[in-house]
Amino acid sequence: MTKIRIALLLFTFVLTIQNGSACTIFSAKDKKGQVWAGNNEDYVFTFKNLINIVPSKKDCFGYVYLSYNYSDASMQGGFNEAGLFFDFNWVPYTKRKEKSTTKEHFPGGDDKMFEYMMEHFTTVQQVMDFYKKYEVWSVESSQLHLADKQGNLGIIVADSMWITTNNYLASTNYNLCHADHDGDDCYRMPIAERLLKSGEPSLDLFTQICDSTSQFDDTGSGTIYSNIHNLTTGEIWFYFGQDYTNAYKTTVQELLKLGKTSIYISDLFKDQTLVKAYTAAKNKKYEVAIEIMNSIQDSTKRSKKMRLLVASLLNMEADFDSYPIFEYYLKSIIWEAGDFRVNGIVLYSKGEKEKALESIDEGLKKFPGNEDLMNLKDQLSGKFASDANYKIVLEGFKDAKSVLLEDFSYYKLGNLMIKEGDSWVCGYALVPDDFFFKFIVDGKEVLSPQFGTSSYLGMPCNHVVIKKSLFRKLAFKIFKYKFRVK
């Protein structure tokens, strides 16, 4: 993974945390000595979460890890057949205790480091010893929650690491080593701790914690899936779409028998109403999708599930053809600022710029001073954010209705390109490193001959190298000069 991509991921996670949507992780040891671990994966809702299976090989454990969109994307969490579990919370920036120059860089980068840990380690202490030796690029903004089937439960952050003496451990989105909790009033932490203190670890208790700490807000952010593990027996339960009545049960052994492969978590829940509606939408049967959602009798629950559906289709996938579902949904709700923004982007991408600007202006009347709406209005006029130090220009698609830059981040709707004459442009904040991308032109992935090509995440991509330059750094800082990538 390039530093650019890591920076983008960290940025999107920070935004999500500020909106109150980020993960809850918990682990515990029961009276029989069995060790349990669980997680709520919280972000803008999507159907594109993957279970990635890596079978054992000579001198290496088999393991399973979870990712967004692509099997080669960064691990969000994982577990191996030896009973070692890890998952990440994203936390406010924490300064390291030691200088980074005192540590080595693991050959191949952070992703290879986690692969090695899953293939070779059985205990939390082994992971901690590894962290003492190797540099991890993004550790200042993350908290690593660990558990093993021997009953060790631990935390690694930038300024500390420790194994708890309690028989339980919960973590959310502040640094557990900071007494002031980073000033974060997190309602999920006391719920998780209260349940862990008062109940015996079990599937029922951990399901209750997942349900009680699950999140939802008006943007479609919240809990996407939950996973619960008995690290002692290897049993695993998945929940999807905030439905805690129907679990998909498997084991690490059963998953490893499938061989090297990847599975969408949503595909394990094909009979779920939300998944059925999504499948219909992806088959362009939008009226059918609406009909399926209307089969949910409870109006509050129906509205909530509709919000999750449209957040995935538009915000996460930028599937502009699915606009009829969003349009139908808008008739039943009081619009939030984000709805005016999404509506404006979709209308622009349908070739209706004037209607897009009208939607944005209507939103600004209701939400005066809203930065997202003001920035979008500027963007549609070709004015990009002040930190967008590079201008990416695509030529040769003058008749296209919409173009997005696919940078392999999670949130696709924000990568809108704007028509200028016969070209499409967007402003980007880039640092010196490799930058891999594609273009999505009217819904189809395209590589442009204007740029170099390379392989990234196992697929052909356009590729540019952003080089270090003292002139560029000074020019951007003093004049906010925009550089054209071509």
- 392-405 pLDDT, tens per residue? 999 999 999 999 99
**225/244 Cα distance (integer angstroms):** 10
> pLDDT tens digits, residue range 243-279?
999 999 999 999 999 999 999 999 999 999 999 999 9
Give the range among 143-152, 326-335, 375-384 with minimum mean pLDDT. Answer: 375-384
pLDDT number for residue 94 = 77
pLDDT recorded at residue 274: 98
Q: Any idea what the CATH number is for the domain that residue 399 is in?
A: 2.60.40.10
Mark which of 269, 303, 328 sits at the end of a domain: 269
> What is the predicted pLDDT for the residue at 149?
97
Q: Residues 132, 263: one domain?
A: yes
Domain total in the chain: 2
**Which domain CATH number covers 73?**
3.60.60.10
Place of tokens 């920036």: 93
Least reliable range by pLDDT among 113-117, 206-210, 284-288, 475-479:
475-479
Last residue of a domain, one of 269, 291, 306: 269
Is the CB of residue 66 less than 8 Å from the CB of residue 244?
Answer: no
Q: Which of 251, 269, 287 represents a domain boundary (last residue)?
A: 269
The pLDDT, as a whole number, for residue 349 is 92
Using the predicted structure, report yes or no on whether residue 137 has a pLDDT greater than 80: no
- Reported pTM: 0.88
Nearest partner of 237 among 85, 37, 454, 455, judged by Cα:
37
306 vs 223: CA distance, rounded Å: 15
User: Is 357 within the bounds of a domain?
Assistant: no
pLDDT in tens, 290-326: 999 999 999 999 999 999 999 999 999 999 999 999 9
Query: Tens of pLDDT along 411-456?
Result: 788 789 999 999 999 988 877 778 899 999 998 999 999 999 998 8
Look at 280 and 74; give whichever has higher pLDDT.
280
Are the C-beta atoms of 40 and 213 separated by less than 8 Å? yes
- 150, 147, 149: which is closest to 171 by C-alpha? 147
442 Cβ contact partners less than 8 Å away, ≥ 6 residues apart: 400, 401, 402, 403
What distances in angstroms separate CA 327 from CA 335, 342, 349, one per listed residue? Answer: 11, 11, 15
Across residues 75-90, what is the average pLDDT? 94
Which run of H or E residues covers position 277?
helix 273-282
pLDDT in tens, 27-73: 999 999 999 999 999 999 999 999 999 999 999 999 999 999 888 88
In a domain, 188, yes or no: yes
Q: Is residue 199 part of a domain?
A: yes
369 within domain boundaries: no
Supply the pLDDT for residue 2: 38
Which pLDDT does position 468 carry in this prediction? 59
349, part of any domain: no
Using the predicted structure, report yes or no on whether residue 282 has a pLDDT greater than 60: yes
Which residues, including other chains, have CB under 8 Å from residue 328's CB and lie 6 or more apart?
Answer: 290
The pLDDT-based confidence of 480 (bands split at 50, 70, 90) is very low
Cα 164 to its chain centre, rounded Å, is 28
| Mean residue pLDDT across the chain | 88
In a domain, 37, yes or no: yes
Q: Is the pLDDT of residue 470 over 70?
A: no
Angle at 225 between CA 146 and CA 140, to 5 degrees: 40
Residue 40: what are its φ and ψ, rounded to 5°?
A: -105, 120
Rounded to whole angstroms, the Cα distance separating 437 from 43 reads 23
The three-state secondary structure class of 176 is coil
Task: Give the pLDDT score at 385.
Answer: 80
Q: Could you tell me if residue 111 is inside a domain?
A: yes
**Which amino acid belongs to residue 405?**
L
Position 236 in a domain: yes
Domain range for residue 427? 390-485
Residue 69 near residue 48, CB atoms below 8 Å: yes
CA distances from 118 to 68, 113, 412 (A): 19, 9, 30
- How many whole angstroms separate alpha carbon 49 and alpha carbon 70? 8
Torsion over CA: 332, 336, 342, 344 (sign): positive
Helices 273-282 and 286-294: crossing angle, nearest 10°? 170
